[in-house]
Each structure stands twice: as C-alpha cells, then as structure tokens.
Amino acid sequence: MNERVLAGEIREKNIDQKVLLKGWVQKRRDLGGLIFIDLRDRSGVVQVVFNPDYSQDALEIAELVRSEYVIEVKGAVVRRDESTVNHLMETGMIEVFASDLKILNKSKTPPFAIKDKTDVSEDLRLKYRYIDLRRSPMQETFKLRHQTTQSVRNFLNDNGFLEMETPILTKSTPEGARDYLVPSRVHSGEFYALPQSPQLFKQLIMMSGFEKYYQIARCFRDEDLRADRQPEFTQIDIETSFMSSDEIMEMTEQMMKKIMKDIKGIDISLPLMRMPYDEAMQRFGSDKPDTRFDMELIHVSDVLENSAFKVFQGAISSGGKVCLLNVKGQAANYSRKDLDKLTDFVKVYDAKGLAWLKAEGNELKGPIAKFLTEEEIMGLVDRADASDGDLLLFVSDKTSIVYDSLGALRLKLGKELNLIDESKFNFLWITDWPLLEYDEDLGRYFAAHHPFTSPVEEDLDKLTIDPANVRANAYDLVLNGYELGGGSLRIYKKELQDQMFKVLGFSEEEANEQFGFLLEALEYGAPPHGGVALGLDRIIMLLSGRTNLRDTILFPKTASASDLLTDAPNEVSEAQLIELAIQLNEKNN
Amino acid sequence: MNERVLAGEIREKNIDQKVLLKGWVQKRRDLGGLIFIDLRDRSGVVQVVFNPDYSQDALEIAELVRSEYVIEVKGAVVRRDESTVNHLMETGMIEVFASDLKILNKSKTPPFAIKDKTDVSEDLRLKYRYIDLRRSPMQETFKLRHQTTQSVRNFLNDNGFLEMETPILTKSTPEGARDYLVPSRVHSGEFYALPQSPQLFKQLIMMSGFEKYYQIARCFRDEDLRADRQPEFTQIDIETSFMSSDEIMEMTEQMMKKIMKDIKGIDISLPLMRMPYDEAMQRFGSDKPDTRFDMELIHVSDVLENSAFKVFQGAISSGGKVCLLNVKGQAANYSRKDLDKLTDFVKVYDAKGLAWLKAEGNELKGPIAKFLTEEEIMGLVDRADASDGDLLLFVSDKTSIVYDSLGALRLKLGKELNLIDESKFNFLWITDWPLLEYDEDLGRYFAAHHPFTSPVEEDLDKLTIDPANVRANAYDLVLNGYELGGGSLRIYKKELQDQMFKVLGFSEEEANEQFGFLLEALEYGAPPHGGVALGLDRIIMLLSGRTNLRDTILFPKTASASDLLTDAPNEVSEAQLIELAIQLNEKNN
C-alpha cells in the first residue's frame, strides 16, 4: 500500500483492495455520525467515508478538515449500497472506507468554489489563477493543449521535420507590429527585441540547409490588446525548402486532419476548400469567412445604379457599391428599435447607415421603398430571392466599408438567429492575397503579410508599375470564421528582395541597416523556401469550444497586459536601471 | 519523376531509376570533357555526372555552376565503374547521369568552405552562421538535439506529465542572477522581467493541481558570460506533486537512461551513484566531480599538524587543512618549470602556493623535504600510497581554497595525462547540499539553490539557531564533471517559507512585495511538491562530444552577448524610446 492510487481511476475491480490516496478535499459532508469527503486529484474524484467503527482516529481528524485541504488517506475500496450509487460519478459505484487520515496542508476558504461553472469576475479568477485552474474544465483544456501539441509534434517528426529553437533575444526590426525591447547591460544604449515571430530565423534555417524545420514558438507583440490578443502567444511555426505552395498547403492539411482525429475523433475530408481572397470578400465580406452558414452578401449595385435614392446612387457613382443581406423569414421579428440597434452596430464599421426593406408578398416595404421604381423592386426581389417575410438589410458605401460592415453584421445575425451549427469544423484556405496594401495616410505601400512574401511569378512585372494588383504566393487557413494562421512562399533571390524593399519605400541604406544579414544570406545559395505558422492558442480555443483566448493560456495577461497573479509588470530598483544605463522619463518619477 | 529524391539516400537498389534531385553544389570537378558535381542536401551527398553524350544542354549549364549554387537535377542512377567506386561515401557505389540541370539560385564564393573540419575563426563562423550550419558536424548536432528533445518528451508523456507553457514576460524578483528587463509601454515606468527559470510558475502549477508538469523551457540570465554560459539557454524543466526526493531522482534516472539508449545506444545501469556534497568536496575538491578517473584528494592534516613547515602548520592551526594529489609515476616528467606553471595555475584559485615532493624509493625528495620529520615522511608515504616515481602536489590553506585549487588541478592533470576514458558516461547524484551559504562581504545568508528549497525535516530546528548546518532536500545530477542540473523538494508550508525569507534577511514587507503571490498561494492548499531542471544545451554538448556550448545552440551569442549574424543588440529609434517613456543615460547619447 505504498504506491499512491489515483482517485478518479478506482473502479469496481478494485473492491476489497487497500489504497493510498493523496489529493484535495473537494467537499465534506457530515451525516449521522459519519463524515463523507470527496477527495479530488488530477484524475478525478472519489468518495471517502469516515466511520467510527472503522477508525475513530481518522474520523476525528476528518472533523478538522475543510475544503481544499491537502490530505493523505489510507483505506479500503468497498461497493456502495444500491441506494447510494452515484451514476454521475465515474467512481460512483464504490467508495473508500478510511483507516488513516493525514492532513498534508491546510487551506483558507478559497475566494471562489472549485466547480465546473463559475460566475465570479475574470479578474478574481486571474488573481487566484492557481485556484481557477483546479476547476475541471480548466484541467481539461490544458490536457487538450498538451495532447494537441504532441499530436502536432508526432505528425511533423514523422514527416522528417526537425524541431529547432530560435533566439528570444533578437534584433529590433520595426516593420509590422511594435517590438518589445530589452535594454542591454553589456552594450549600453543598445537593445534586443523579442521576436514577433521567428520569420527571419526560420528563413535562415532554410539557408542553413536543414530543409524542414518546426518549432512551437513563443512570439511577442506589443500591441493594444483586444479580447483575442495576448502580448505573448504561441505559434506552430513551420518552414520548408523546395516545396511548392500546394505541397505546403497539403502538408498543413494532413497535420490538421491528424489533430482533428487525435483530439476530436473527427475525420475531416481533404483537400480542404480553397477560395481566392477576392471571392471571400465579395461573398462573405470577410477574409476569414465562417462558412458554417449561408446568408452571403448579395451584390445589387447594377440593379440600383440609376436609383432615385441618393444614398445608393451616390455610393455607386463614387466608385463604391450596394450590397444586402437577406435575413430569411425574420421581417416580423425585427422592430424599428431592433433595426436602429443594427444600424448602430454597422456604424462601428464606418457605415453611414443601414437601409432595410421587408418582403410582403411580392412587394418590399419600408421607409426607402418610396424611392425605388417597380423595376428596381423586382430586380431586388429577384436577385435576393426574397419571399414573404424576409428582411433585407442594405449598406451602400465604399467597397471596403460595405464588406466590413455587412461581413460583421452577417456574423452577428448568424449567432443571434442560431444559424450556426456549433458541432461543425469548417476549414477553408484563403488564397491569392494581394501582396501589398496602400496606406493612404502614410502615402506608401505596406506588405500585406510581411516584406519577405514572394509575389506570384506571373505578376512579377507589375511590381513596379502596378503594385496594388500584384498577388502574393500566400495562403491563410480559416476555421469557423477564425484565422488559424497562414503562410507563403518567401523571396529567395536577392534582386527581388531588394526590389520589394524599394516598393515598400526603404532606401538601400535603411534596408541594409535593418535586414542586411538577410540580404547577404540571399547571396550565398538560398534555396526556394516557404512555410506556414498557425496560432496554437486559437486552435486550442476552437478545439475546446471556448470563446476566450485567456482560458487557453496557463498564465495569461489582461487586456492591459498585466499579470494579475504576480502583479507584473512592476517597478524595478534604481540600481537595476543604473546598470542598464537607462532612466525613466520625468512623468514617471 | 515529380517526386524529389534525397541525394544521400540513393543506393544500388535505385540503379536504372530516374531521379529528381534538389540541393547545393558541394564540389565541381571538370575532367576529360565531363563535369562531376557533388550534390548535397540534408540527407548527404551524391555524385552527378554531366556528359555531352547524355545531355549537351545540361553540360553547358553545369559549366556555369559554382560551389553552393542551388540546383535541380534530373537524371538516371547508374552503377559506378569498379575503378571509381568510393567506399568512403554512402552513395559511393552509384552516380547520377544528368539529363537536365536548372540553377535555382546562385552563390557568391562562401567565406569558408563547407567541410567537416574548419579552422576559421569562431567570429566568422557566427557571422555566417547559415554557412557554418551547412557543415555536416553541425547538421548532425542539431539532428541529435532534435532527437534528444523528442526522447525526453516521449519519456515524460509516457509517464503522465503534461507539457505546459509558462510566461516569458514575468515579474522581476531580483534574488539570484541579474534579470533581463522589458519596459512596459502600457504601464510606463514599469518593467517585465524575462524568467531565470520557470521556478515559481511551476510551483504554482502544482498548486493548480496538475501534479506532473514539464516544459523544454527557455531561461534568461544577464550574467557576465563565460565559455559555457549563454544569455538565453534551455532547460528540461520538471515538477511533480506528492513525490519524494528519491522518487524524483529515480524518475530522472529513468529519463537519462532512455536518452542514453535512444541517442547513444548505451545501456546505463541504475540506480546511479549517489554521493553527499561533503564527500564529493573531500574526495574530489568539487561539487561536480569527474569520476572517470581517480587521483582523489588525500587528506594529510593529521600527519602534518605539528609540522615544522610553517606553511602547512599555519594553515592547519588557523582552521584550514593540507591535502595532496598523488600524480602516479609522473615525478620524472615534471620539471621545476612545469611545477612552476602548476603553481601559477592553482594561484588562480587563490592558493598561495603549490608544494611538491617526488618519491624516490621510500624517500620523498624536494625543496620542502628538509622541513619534514622522518615520521611525517613515513606518514605521507603511507597515506598517499606513494611509490617510486610518484609526484605529490600539496595545497595548504583555508578548506575552500584547498578544495577549489586541488579540484581544478586534478581535472587539469587528468586531461593532460590522458587519465580520462572519453568513451565513458559517468553519472552521479550529489545529495545533502547545504541549504544556505554565508556571504561574508554582505554579512548575510543566501540560498545555496534558491529560497524555495525545502530544508531536510530533521534539520528544521537548526534553521534559526545554526543555519549554516541545515541541509537541503536537494540533489544535483553530474555527468563527466559537468553539472547537468538539479532539483529539490520545495517549501509548501507558508510558515516555513516565511521563516526562510527571514533567515535570508527579508523584511516581511520585502518578502510580500516580491513573493506575496507565492506566500498567498501557499495558504490555499499547496501540495507537497518538488522537481528537477536539467540543462539541455549542456546535455547536447556532452552527447555530441563537443566542448563548446555555442556549437549546440542554433543561433548563439558571443561572450559579450552579441549576435554576430543579425548584429543584435542594436540601437533603436528615439520614437521607440519615447513610446516606452525611457531615455538613455547621458554617456550613451
């Protein structure tokens, strides 16, 4: 009886065995001179009974025990009375009659109870993270995270990839998101940066001849946080040499197939659907469409291009468009007040308003109906396939605003109206991305992915004369409306990388200062290469059916990048700053 | 022929097959109108032959090709002529007759050749790391690193451990080594710290009820670098609940046994040898003894305590001691000049000098012989088991200096005299460590391991009255004279942790400010727990038979913590500093 037994694994086959248990007091009940303790460990819960006939000593110690005390119990496994069998517990057929009880550690009353559902504030859960993590759904999430990580590794190991570690203390290259900086003590006045991704290092690994690399890599972005962003996050980072984009996508699909099988027991069929970026925007108003439900954007600019309704006509004539969503059968369920709320919703996406019409018989009714001709009404009914009781919601604006606002409205309505089959896992590749995005405020092009993404070969001659229409050799993987990540073929010729930096507005000097090591490496036999990076935290979120990314990270930070448990970041001593040869700006002192 | 074949895997069974190869030009030779190219990829090298009879086009392109060009070859596998078979190459029975050749990328002449042995400076190798890494020994090292990591994971996964990720942006707790700091932009004036190890987080994971945790964890120490230190390094980090120190050591041994079997094909026998700290110091003058050879320290204070030789007698009477090494049979090989050099060597370890005697028959000869009595000589000969031709080397000083200097001298002589069997892997646990070390300059105790290490139960009452003699529940694992790492049981009771901080000179306020979250967590049902952490980089160094830690890290930093490849750290823009609300001290501007 020296070997500890796991509480949640005891079954009827163990009846009459003596067991040694160690764990936490989940619950204590006193009943008719007996004490019942639910003992919890990482495997689950078992009921322990303290009976004066069995051990008076153990019973007396059991009287001292409270929730979350850590205890050690010796006892015998017995079959429960028929009347006390608990079919909801995996160990509910048996209980343990205690002969010995030892209190290993006490506990104050926890700030909240260890139960599956909790309604305490997230801040309190984060401050007492070690208590929150004892709850079964949290335990399960991190077991799933462990299993997913191993599934990924097994797949990549079996396919000849080498797991390799790239540095965390790297060079600051301020293109893209904001770097976290680390002052150097030895080289005072200089800084390391934490990597936003291992992008350049994984390309250097290809130039080092390793051909197949992966890493479950920690990445850092000092961005203003949103609900689904963390200052540090983890990505499945992969790079290969000599593979085409099709081959990289196929490999990634095989990996996702294995994860889905290993973790969810689901067979997904390959190849995954592919959709060009333009099509995704036109049909779903999103570059990461949730394809678990329809309600696609309906384009009606041609129907309305001569409309007397100024709002429509104005948008079209100034180069924008009019699209609508047909919310099938919901006309009666949306009051003016509800529609005003939807209008407020699209305004967040810079839409000036949301026009609406309700289908009654063959007619469309609503405040804007009077501006529309018979022919336009017929055209809309026909295009939207509108039937009695349908609600049509219109946005007319610049194309990007029409897509953003209706894309977001589509998702909102899909959720509100329960149009989404939550059991589905809809994977989708978005391909044919634009290589560059023009920033009107700054008057220059930016890399849509990053400056190392390769243009597609047939668009190469447009790079200097028509950069906006150059497509990238890039692909993003979408699952249920979330971007899991993406990848691309990389530029591997020095001349093309030079040209790319030029298009991005870098002087030769700036390019060399920031990326000279890469440009030089491209001159020494860089192989064709490409890869992919997938967000592990988000994959775990979707696999575990959660909606909060913080529930998938063991010790996450808040939206203001604080760790409420350890109280990081914090002030440091003057001596530490002096060693680093930095000082705080006045306002901080 | 669309599937690429790996060059190093082609064998006689592939003769007559058509193959598609992609890789680097290792070597080009022109001979009698033919061109021979050694094509290298991650798998190895194969010889490709360009012959005008086979393809004039391919031959003409081959003429343009230089070392490290990246090429694509189509061809047929043929058996080599008897006379040209190369038994030193794994593919030496065959060659590939090329029908097509495509240059995928060019290369300038590399700064050094891609060959197994290189004598270029390490700085040049680090600057062109992507070229250095193409060399076969480097490729092999990182394959071995990959395999070792997977071996560790397989063992831990099979034993129920969960791989979990702890934060990199954490709280600065300036006990121990120097932290790398990261200024916070959102909370200006505050800093994150990069973790020196996941110590507190892994303890919190135990308090979260996970019971078995591991991580291949990146750690950071801003220390003055030595040859075997890097600012960022990787450790195999393990923590468990409810296990005794014996159980943790046994688990660690099983893991090392599996690594040795998987990677080196060597069966090591368990249990590994264990040695108390005091014994290691007394016998080997080291807390990480290399037990692959003898030449242990011989203690002769009792023999010499009344010696007329002032140096010996003074050391002993002031509480120090005299020890010697018997360098068997080497008396004739060490001249005065050699012995002077050994004296200089021990002086680095603060020894005042190195006395010596040479055994001739039953006598001991040397400059200090005249100060010794017949009885003392006989005592020394007897104790040292000295026979004709032996060289005895003495240090007399404070105990710590005697151990440090003779321990180092023993290692030096072991290497010089080839006493070490390099094929051996001698593992050893050092146990019974002191819990505390007294710093005479600062007049306070420091934690010998870290402040969370548990004292052994039977020494608990000494903690306040005799702290110097409290032993820790700690264990270090040593391999061939290198510390692989170590671990301990941790303090899991609040009162004991409070007491420990007190002994270390923390006020209650200081303890709460730095470690309040831990102290609070200890009050909510913290289980007994402990763990171990092993340095992965050093394990790889020893398994791959290397002596330079930098050869085991993909992109290492120099002794001054610089990355010569990317030129990190570097200066950052004023705008970045303004966002972080910090400025550089005057001298840097």
pLDDT tens digits for B255-268?
999 999 999 999 99
* Domains, chain B: 7-105 (2.40.50.140), 138-276+426-561 (3.30.930.10), 293-416 (3.30.1360.30)
CB–CB contact A567 B107 (8 Å): no
- CA nearest A225 in B: which residue? B186
Instruction: For residue B457, list chain A residues with Cβ-Cβ distance below 8 A.
Output: none
CB–CB contact A570 B207 (8 Å): no
The pLDDT of A131-145, averaged and rounded, is 97
Q: How far is A15 from chain B (nearest CA, A)?
A: 24
Identify the residue with better confidence: B557 or A173.
B557
Phi and psi for B4 in degrees, rounded to 5?
Answer: -70, 140
Q: pLDDT tens across B431-452, in order?
A: 999 999 998 888 889 999 999 9
The pLDDT of B396-424, averaged and rounded, is 96
A221 annotated among ligand-binding-site residues: yes
Report DSSP state, residue A431: E
Pair of tokens at residue A137 = 């759904």
Q: pLDDT tens across B329-388, in order?
A: 999 999 999 999 999 999 999 999 999 999 998 899 999 999 999 999 999 999 999 999
The pLDDT assigned to B133 comes to 98
Q: Angle of helix B245-259 relative to helix B136-158, nearest 10 degrees?
A: 140
Q: How far is A52 from chain B (nearest CA, A)?
A: 26
Read off the pLDDT band of B543 (50, 70, 90). Answer: very high
Instruction: For residue B41, list chain A residues with Cβ-Cβ distance below 8 A.
Output: 209, 211
3-state secondary structure at position B498:
helix
Pair of tokens at residue A498 = 């030079």
The pLDDT assigned to B239 comes to 98
C-alpha A388/C-alpha A131 separation (Å) is 54
Q: Which of A70, A194, A557 sits opposite B525 (nearest CB)?
A: A70
CB–CB contact A584 B188 (8 Å): yes
- CA nearest A153 in B: which residue? B150
Q: Which of B153, B189, B525 sits opposite A584 (nearest CB)?
A: B189
Task: Identify any residues that bridge with A236 across adjacent strands, giving them in sequence order.
Answer: A216, A534
CB–CB contact A133 B186 (8 Å): no
Report DSSP state, residue A446: E
- CA nearest A553 in B: which residue? B165
Q: How far is B526 from chain A (nearest CA, A)?
A: 7
C-alpha B341, offset from chain centre: 28
Q: pLDDT tens across A420-443, in order?
A: 999 999 999 999 999 999 988 888
A223 annotated among ligand-binding-site residues: yes
Residue type, B90: E
B221 annotated among ligand-binding-site residues: yes
CB–CB contact A192 B568 (8 Å): yes
Nearest partner of B583 among A388, A374, A585, A539, judged by Cα: A585
Q: How far is B468 from chain A (nearest CA, A)?
A: 27
Q: Name the burial class of residue A182, with classes exposed (0-12), middle (13-18) and buried (19+) by CB atoms within 10 angstroms of its CB.
A: buried
Best to test chain A binding among B572, B573, B574 (most A CBs inside 10 Å): B572
Phi and psi for A359 in degrees, rounded to 5?
Answer: -85, 125
Q: Which of A574-588, B94-108, B412-426, B462-476 has the lowest mean pLDDT?
A: A574-588
Pair of tokens at residue A389 = 């009781």
The pLDDT assigned to A588 comes to 45
pLDDT over threshold 90, residue B519: yes
The pLDDT of A113-123, averaged and rounded, is 93
Q: Name the burial class of residue B446, with classes exposed (0-12), middle (13-18) and buried (19+) by CB atoms within 10 angstroms of its CB.
A: middle
Pair of tokens at residue B8 = 């190093």
pLDDT over threshold 80, residue A589: no
Instruction: For residue B214, list chain A residues with Cβ-Cβ distance below 8 A.
Output: none
The pLDDT assigned to A7 comes to 97
C-alpha B362/C-alpha B388 separation (Å) is 7
The pLDDT assigned to A1 comes to 53
Kindly report the number of other CB atoms within 10 A of residue B444's CB atom: 13
Q: How far is A233 from chain B (nearest CA, A)?
A: 9
Nearest partner of B326 among B271, B274, B390, judged by Cα: B390
Decide: B392 and B331 in contact? Cβ < 8 Å.
no
Decide: A321 and A301 in contact? Cβ < 8 Å.
yes
Distances (CA, A) of A20 to A26, A72, A77, A419, B189: 17, 7, 10, 51, 52
C-alpha A171/C-alpha B572 separation (Å) is 10
Size of the A and B interface in Cβ pairs below 8 Å:
348
Q: Angle of helix A136-158 relative to helix B136-158, nearest 10 degrees?
A: 140
Q: Which of B40, B108, B184 sits opposite A523 (nearest CB)?
A: B108
The pLDDT assigned to B362 comes to 83
The pLDDT of B405-414, averaged and rounded, is 98
Q: pLDDT tens across B58-95, in order?
A: 999 999 999 999 999 999 999 999 999 999 999 999 99
Instruction: For residue B194, list chain A residues with Cβ-Cβ distance below 8 A.
Output: 168, 182
- CA nearest A40 in B: which residue? B209
C-alpha B288/C-alpha B483 separation (Å) is 6
pTM for the model: 0.95
pLDDT over threshold 70, residue B191: yes
DSSP character string of B384-426: HT--TT-EEEEEEESHHHHHHHHHHHHHHHHHHTT---TT---
Q: How do strand A162-163 and strand A212-220 relate by DSSP bridges? A: parallel
pLDDT over threshold 80, residue B586: no
Instruction: For residue B553, list chain A residues with Cβ-Cβ distance below 8 A.
Output: 165
Which ranges of B215-333 would DSSP assign to H, the alpha helix? Answer: 245-259, 277-284, 301-304, 310-317
Across chain A, mean pLDDT equals 95
The pLDDT assigned to B587 comes to 59
C-alpha B277/C-alpha B437 separation (Å) is 14
The pLDDT assigned to B120 comes to 95
Decide: A223 and A557 in contact? Cβ < 8 Å.
no
Q: pLDDT tens across A466-525, in order?
A: 999 999 999 999 999 999 999 999 999 999 999 999 999 999 999 999 999 999 999 999
The pLDDT assigned to B491 comes to 98
- CA nearest B528 in A: which residue? A104
CB–CB contact B231 A521 (8 Å): no
- CA nearest A43 in B: which residue? B210
Which ranges of A318-398 would DSSP assign to H, the alpha helix? Answer: 336-347, 374-384
- CA nearest A111 in B: which residue? B524
The pLDDT assigned to A439 comes to 87
pLDDT over threshold 50, residue B589: no
A536 annotated among ligand-binding-site residues: yes
Q: Quick one: three-class SS letters along A473-507? A: CEEEEEECCEEEEEEEEECCCHHHHHHHHHHCCCC
> Which residue in the block uniquely carries the two structure tokens 């290189």?
B118
Phi and psi for A232 in degrees, rounded to 5?
Answer: -125, 140
The pLDDT assigned to B439 comes to 87
C-alpha B246/C-alpha B250 separation (Å) is 6
A538 annotated among ligand-binding-site residues: yes
pLDDT over threshold 90, residue A176: no
Helix (H) or strand (E) holding A358: strand A355-360
> Which residue in the block uniquely carries the two structure tokens 């108390």?
B276
Would you report the helix, strand and coil content of chain B in percent, each value rounded to 5? 35, 25, 40
Q: How far is A519 from chain B (nearest CA, A)?
A: 11
pLDDT over threshold 70, residue B1: no
The pLDDT assigned to B41 comes to 97
Q: pLDDT tens across A285-296, in order?
A: 999 999 999 999
Q: Angle of helix B508-521 relative to helix B494-503, nearest 10 degrees?
A: 150
Helix (H) or strand (E) holding B339: helix B336-347
Best to test chain B binding among A149, A163, A519, A570 (most B CBs inside 10 Å): A570
The pLDDT assigned to A226 comes to 67
The pLDDT of A33-59, averaged and rounded, is 96
A229 annotated among ligand-binding-site residues: no
CB–CB contact B188 A587 (8 Å): yes
Task: Work out the percent of chain A whose per-residue pLDDT is above 70.
Answer: 98
Read off the pLDDT band of A362 (50, 70, 90). Answer: confident
Nearest partner of B498 among B508, B510, B489, judged by Cα: B508
Q: Which of A234, A527, A554 sits opposite B104 (nearest CB)?
A: A527
Task: Identify any residues that bridge with B533 across adjacent strands, giving them in sequence order.
Answer: B237, B486
The pLDDT assigned to B150 comes to 98
Q: How far is A416 from chain B (nearest CA, A)?
A: 35
| Interface ipTM | 0.95
Phi and psi for A540 in degrees, rounded to 5?
Answer: -65, -40
CB–CB contact A131 B524 (8 Å): yes
pLDDT over threshold 70, residue B174: no
Q: Which of B183, B187, B525 sits opposite A181 (nearest CB)?
A: B183
The pLDDT of B138-163, averaged and rounded, is 98
Instruction: For residue A526, list chain B residues with Cβ-Cβ distance below 8 A.
Output: 70, 105
A449 annotated among ligand-binding-site residues: yes
Read off the pLDDT band of B223 (50, 70, 90). Answer: confident
C-alpha B41, offset from chain centre: 30
3-state secondary structure at position A392:
strand
The pLDDT of B46-63, averaged and rounded, is 96
DSSP character string of B136-198: HHHHHHHHHHHHHHHHHHHHHHHTT-EE----SSB----SSSPPPEEE-SSSTT-EEE--S-S
Nearest partner of B327 among B380, B387, B275, B280, judged by Cα: B387
Q: Where are the beta strands (DSSP E) in A153-284?
A: 162-163, 181-183, 191-193, 212-220, 232-241, 273-276
A16 annotated among ligand-binding-site residues: no
Helix (H) or strand (E) holding B206: helix B199-207
C-alpha A62/C-alpha A560 separation (Å) is 44
A523 annotated among ligand-binding-site residues: no
Pair of tokens at residue B130 = 């992507």
Instruction: For residue B153, list chain A residues with Cβ-Cβ distance below 8 A.
Output: 150, 153
pLDDT over threshold 50, residue A216: yes
CB–CB contact A146 B131 (8 Å): no
B579 annotated among ligand-binding-site residues: no
- CA nearest A184 in B: which residue? B569
Across chain B, mean pLDDT equals 95
Decide: A355 and A411 in contact? Cβ < 8 Å.
no
Q: How far is A438 from chain B (nearest CA, A)?
A: 23
Q: pLDDT tens across A329-343, in order?
A: 999 999 999 999 999
A175 annotated among ligand-binding-site residues: yes
Q: How far is B330 from chain A (nearest CA, A)?
A: 45
Decide: A234 and A537 in contact? Cβ < 8 Å.
yes
B385 annotated among ligand-binding-site residues: no
CB–CB contact A180 B169 (8 Å): yes
> Which residue in the block uniquely carries the two structure tokens 């029975």?
B93
The pLDDT assigned to B588 comes to 45
